[in-house]
Protein backbone atom coordinates (compact mmCIF):
# COMPACT_ATOMS: atom_id res chain seq x y z
CA UNK A 1 0.00 0.00 0.00
CA UNK A 2 2.84 2.36 0.81
CA UNK A 3 4.40 1.74 -2.59
CA UNK A 4 1.07 2.31 -4.27
CA UNK A 5 0.57 5.52 -2.36
CA UNK A 6 4.00 6.71 -3.45
CA UNK A 7 3.22 5.93 -7.04
CA UNK A 8 0.01 7.92 -6.81
CA UNK A 9 1.69 10.90 -5.13
CA UNK A 10 2.64 12.77 -8.26
CA UNK A 11 2.49 16.52 -8.67
CA UNK A 12 1.22 18.15 -11.79
CA UNK A 13 3.69 20.42 -13.61
CA UNK A 14 1.69 23.43 -12.43
CA UNK A 15 1.84 22.28 -8.79
CA UNK A 16 5.57 21.59 -9.08
CA UNK A 17 6.13 25.05 -10.52
CA UNK A 18 4.10 26.57 -7.69
CA UNK A 19 6.12 24.69 -5.06
CA UNK A 20 9.37 25.81 -6.69
CA UNK A 21 8.13 29.40 -6.61
CA UNK A 22 7.22 29.09 -2.91
CA UNK A 23 10.69 27.74 -2.09
CA UNK A 24 12.30 30.54 -4.11
CA UNK A 25 10.14 33.17 -2.38
CA UNK A 26 10.94 31.76 1.06
CA UNK A 27 14.64 31.83 0.23
CA UNK A 28 14.40 35.43 -0.96
CA UNK A 29 12.42 36.43 2.16
CA UNK A 30 15.04 34.78 4.37
CA UNK A 31 17.86 36.61 2.55
CA UNK A 32 16.03 39.94 2.73
CA UNK A 33 15.34 39.38 6.42
CA UNK A 34 19.02 38.66 7.08
CA UNK A 35 20.07 41.70 5.06
CA UNK A 36 17.60 43.86 6.99
CA UNK A 37 18.90 42.52 10.31
CA UNK A 38 22.48 43.16 9.21
CA UNK A 39 21.58 46.71 8.26
CA UNK A 40 19.93 47.27 11.65
CA UNK A 41 23.01 45.88 13.40
CA UNK A 42 25.29 48.09 11.28
CA UNK A 43 23.21 51.19 12.07
CA UNK A 44 23.27 50.26 15.76
CA UNK A 45 27.05 49.79 15.60
CA UNK A 46 27.60 53.10 13.83
CA UNK A 47 25.46 54.96 16.38
CA UNK A 48 27.47 53.46 19.25
CA UNK A 49 30.72 54.25 17.44
CA UNK A 50 29.66 57.89 17.17
CA UNK A 51 28.81 57.91 20.88
CA UNK A 52 32.28 56.50 21.55
CA UNK A 53 33.80 59.30 19.49
CA UNK A 54 31.83 61.83 21.52
CA UNK A 55 33.10 60.27 24.74
CA UNK A 56 36.71 60.58 23.52
CA UNK A 57 36.32 64.11 22.12
CA UNK A 58 38.43 65.71 24.85
CA UNK A 59 41.66 64.15 23.54
CA UNK A 60 40.66 62.83 20.12
CA UNK A 61 38.48 65.13 18.08
CA UNK A 62 38.99 63.06 14.91
CA UNK A 63 38.04 59.64 16.30
CA UNK A 64 41.28 58.15 14.95
CA UNK A 65 42.36 56.87 18.39
CA UNK A 66 39.42 54.52 18.71
CA UNK A 67 39.81 53.36 15.11
CA UNK A 68 43.45 52.51 15.84
CA UNK A 69 42.40 50.64 18.98
CA UNK A 70 40.23 48.40 16.82
CA UNK A 71 42.95 47.55 14.31
CA UNK A 72 45.70 47.16 16.92
CA UNK A 73 43.52 44.87 19.07
CA UNK A 74 42.83 42.71 16.02
CA UNK A 75 46.54 42.50 15.15
CA UNK A 76 47.59 41.65 18.71
CA UNK A 77 44.93 38.93 18.94
CA UNK A 78 46.26 37.39 15.72
CA UNK A 79 49.85 37.57 16.98
CA UNK A 80 48.65 35.72 20.10
CA UNK A 81 47.32 32.94 17.89
CA UNK A 82 43.63 33.68 18.34
CA UNK A 83 41.23 32.87 15.50
CA UNK A 84 40.55 35.28 12.68
CA UNK A 85 36.88 35.44 13.69
CA UNK A 86 37.78 36.39 17.27
CA UNK A 87 40.30 38.98 16.09
CA UNK A 88 37.79 40.53 13.70
CA UNK A 89 35.22 40.70 16.49
CA UNK A 90 37.77 42.58 18.61
CA UNK A 91 38.45 45.00 15.75
CA UNK A 92 34.78 45.94 15.67
CA UNK A 93 34.12 45.84 19.43
CA UNK A 94 37.24 47.44 20.92
CA UNK A 95 36.55 51.01 19.70
CA UNK A 96 33.54 51.12 22.03
CA UNK A 97 35.59 50.40 25.16
CA UNK A 98 35.24 53.91 26.63
CA UNK A 99 31.65 54.59 25.59
CA UNK A 100 30.70 54.83 29.27
CA UNK A 101 32.46 58.20 29.46
CA UNK A 102 29.38 59.61 27.76
CA UNK A 103 27.69 59.24 31.16
CA UNK A 104 30.36 61.18 33.07
CA UNK A 105 29.69 64.90 33.71
CA UNK A 106 31.86 67.21 31.62
CA UNK A 107 33.20 69.03 34.66
CA UNK A 108 34.79 65.73 35.71
CA UNK A 109 35.58 64.24 32.29
CA UNK A 110 37.25 67.40 30.98
CA UNK A 111 38.93 68.52 34.18
CA UNK A 112 42.53 69.53 33.33
CA UNK A 113 44.01 68.80 36.76
CA UNK A 114 44.01 65.88 39.18
CA UNK A 115 40.71 64.43 40.37
CA UNK A 116 39.51 64.75 43.93
CA UNK A 117 38.59 61.42 45.59
CA UNK A 118 34.92 62.12 44.85
CA UNK A 119 35.66 62.94 41.20
CA UNK A 120 37.79 59.81 40.87
CA UNK A 121 34.87 57.77 42.19
CA UNK A 122 32.60 59.32 39.56
CA UNK A 123 35.13 58.76 36.77
CA UNK A 124 35.61 55.14 37.77
CA UNK A 125 31.95 54.46 37.02
CA UNK A 126 32.46 54.67 33.27
CA UNK A 127 33.30 50.97 32.71
CA UNK A 128 30.04 49.89 34.34
CA UNK A 129 28.09 52.57 32.46
CA UNK A 130 29.59 51.40 29.17
CA UNK A 131 28.87 47.75 29.90
CA UNK A 132 25.28 48.64 30.75
CA UNK A 133 24.81 50.59 27.49
CA UNK A 134 26.33 47.88 25.32
CA UNK A 135 25.02 44.88 27.21
CA UNK A 136 21.40 45.76 26.48
CA UNK A 137 21.87 44.34 22.97
CA UNK A 138 21.69 40.59 22.40
CA UNK A 139 23.93 40.87 19.31
CA UNK A 140 27.22 39.01 19.92
CA UNK A 141 29.36 41.97 18.84
CA UNK A 142 27.88 44.23 21.49
CA UNK A 143 28.12 41.55 24.16
CA UNK A 144 31.87 41.37 23.48
CA UNK A 145 32.05 45.18 23.50
CA UNK A 146 30.26 45.19 26.88
CA UNK A 147 32.80 42.69 28.22
CA UNK A 148 35.67 44.91 27.05
CA UNK A 149 34.08 48.06 28.45
CA UNK A 150 33.73 46.48 31.88
CA UNK A 151 37.20 44.90 31.95
CA UNK A 152 39.57 47.38 30.32
CA UNK A 153 40.54 49.11 33.59
CA UNK A 154 41.14 45.89 35.51
CA UNK A 155 44.79 45.13 36.31
CA UNK A 156 46.71 41.88 36.22
CA UNK A 157 47.66 42.39 39.90
CA UNK A 158 44.03 42.87 40.97
CA UNK A 159 44.37 46.56 41.78
CA UNK A 160 42.17 47.82 38.95
CA UNK A 161 38.49 48.67 38.79
CA UNK A 162 35.53 48.23 38.92
CA UNK A 163 35.71 44.61 40.16
CA UNK A 164 39.37 44.17 41.19
CA UNK A 165 39.72 41.12 38.95
CA UNK A 166 43.21 39.63 38.75
CA UNK A 167 45.16 37.49 36.30
CA UNK A 168 43.21 35.32 33.92
CA UNK A 169 39.96 36.14 35.69
CA UNK A 170 40.08 39.25 33.49
CA UNK A 171 38.56 38.40 30.10
CA UNK A 172 41.14 38.03 27.33
CA UNK A 173 39.40 40.75 25.32
CA UNK A 174 39.94 43.21 28.16
CA UNK A 175 43.58 42.17 28.65
CA UNK A 176 44.30 42.77 24.97
CA UNK A 177 42.47 46.08 24.65
CA UNK A 178 43.96 47.61 27.80
CA UNK A 179 47.47 47.09 26.38
CA UNK A 180 46.82 48.54 22.93
CA UNK A 181 44.90 51.44 24.50
CA UNK A 182 47.83 52.16 26.83
CA UNK A 183 50.34 52.09 23.97
CA UNK A 184 48.26 54.17 21.58
CA UNK A 185 47.41 56.76 24.23
CA UNK A 186 51.09 57.18 25.09
CA UNK A 187 52.09 57.70 21.46
CA UNK A 188 49.51 60.40 20.70
CA UNK A 189 49.51 64.06 21.70
CA UNK A 190 47.25 64.83 24.66
CA UNK A 191 46.00 68.17 25.91
CA UNK A 192 48.38 67.97 28.88
CA UNK A 193 51.53 66.51 27.21
CA UNK A 194 53.15 65.74 23.85
CA UNK A 195 53.30 62.18 22.50
CA UNK A 196 55.94 59.80 23.83
CA UNK A 197 58.20 58.09 21.31
CA UNK A 198 57.55 54.50 20.28
CA UNK A 199 60.64 53.39 22.20
CA UNK A 200 59.63 55.21 25.39
CA UNK A 201 56.12 53.79 25.18
CA UNK A 202 57.58 50.27 24.97
CA UNK A 203 59.72 50.97 28.05
CA UNK A 204 56.65 52.12 29.96
CA UNK A 205 54.69 49.08 28.80
CA UNK A 206 57.48 46.75 29.93
CA UNK A 207 57.55 48.46 33.34
CA UNK A 208 53.92 47.39 33.87
CA UNK A 209 54.50 43.77 32.80
CA UNK A 210 52.94 41.51 35.43
CA UNK A 211 51.58 44.54 37.28
CA UNK A 212 48.92 46.28 35.22
CA UNK A 213 49.23 43.95 32.24
CA UNK A 214 49.24 40.25 31.38
CA UNK A 215 52.97 39.41 31.04
CA UNK A 216 52.44 36.99 28.15
CA UNK A 217 50.50 39.56 26.14
CA UNK A 218 53.12 42.23 26.88
CA UNK A 219 55.82 39.85 25.63
CA UNK A 220 53.83 39.20 22.46
CA UNK A 221 53.34 42.93 21.92
CA UNK A 222 57.06 43.60 22.35
CA UNK A 223 58.04 40.80 19.95
CA UNK A 224 55.76 42.28 17.32
CA UNK A 225 56.13 45.96 18.19
CA UNK A 226 57.62 46.96 14.82
CA UNK A 227 54.62 45.54 12.94
CA UNK A 228 52.18 47.06 15.43
CA UNK A 229 53.83 50.48 15.14
CA UNK A 230 53.72 50.24 11.34
CA UNK A 231 50.02 49.36 11.46
CA UNK A 232 49.36 52.30 13.74
CA UNK A 233 51.05 54.62 11.25
CA UNK A 234 49.10 53.07 8.36
CA UNK A 235 45.77 53.67 10.10
CA UNK A 236 46.73 57.24 11.00
CA UNK A 237 48.12 58.29 7.62
CA UNK A 238 45.27 56.55 5.81
CA UNK A 239 42.75 58.39 8.01
CA UNK A 240 40.78 55.21 8.44
CA UNK A 241 37.20 55.47 9.65
CA UNK A 242 34.26 53.45 10.92
CA UNK A 243 33.70 52.18 7.37
CA UNK A 244 37.24 50.75 7.32
CA UNK A 245 36.69 49.03 10.66
CA UNK A 246 33.63 47.28 9.27
CA UNK A 247 34.57 46.69 5.65
CA UNK A 248 38.36 46.43 5.39
CA UNK A 249 39.55 42.98 4.35
CA UNK A 250 41.31 41.12 7.12
CA UNK A 251 45.05 40.78 6.55
CA UNK A 252 47.56 38.39 8.05
CA UNK A 253 49.68 40.03 10.75
| Amino acid 190: pLDDT | 76
* CA–CA separation, 204 and 174 (whole Å): 19
Is the pLDDT score of 50 beyond 70?
Answer: no
Average pLDDT over residues 18-34: 58
Average pLDDT for 195-206 = 96
pLDDT at 250 over 50: yes
Q: Does residue 248 or residue 218 have the better pLDDT? A: 218
pTM of the model: 0.80
Per-residue pLDDT of 215-245, as tens digits, reads: 999 999 999 999 999 999 999 999 898 888 8
Q: Judge residue 87's burial from the number of C-beta atoms within 10 Å of its C-beta, 0-12 exposed, 13-18 middle, 19 or more buried.
A: buried
What pLDDT, on the 0 to 100 scale, is given for residue 3?
A: 46
Domains by residue range for the chain, with CATH: 10-247 (1.10.3210.10)
Per-residue confidence (pLDDT) for residue 76, from 0 to 100: 98
Could you give the percent of the chain with pLDDT greater than 70? Answer: 74
213 SS3 class:
strand
pLDDT at residue 6 greater than cutoff 50: no
Across 29-33, 82-86, 137-141, 242-246, least confident range? 29-33
- Give pLDDT, residue 64: 87
Identify whether the C-beta of residue 127 lies closer than 8 Å to the C-beta of residue 152. Answer: yes
- pLDDT confidence of residue 24: 58
d(CA 193, CA 203) in angstroms, rounded, equals 18
Question: Which are the catalytic amino acids?
Answer: 101
Amino acid sequence: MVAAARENTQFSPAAADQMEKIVFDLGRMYQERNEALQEVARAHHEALFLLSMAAEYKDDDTGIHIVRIGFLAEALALFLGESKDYALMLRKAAPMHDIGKIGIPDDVLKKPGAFTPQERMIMNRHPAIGADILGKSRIALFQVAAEIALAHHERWDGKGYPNQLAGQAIPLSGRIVTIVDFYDALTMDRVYRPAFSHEKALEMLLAERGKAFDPDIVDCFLRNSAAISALREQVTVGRMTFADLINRKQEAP
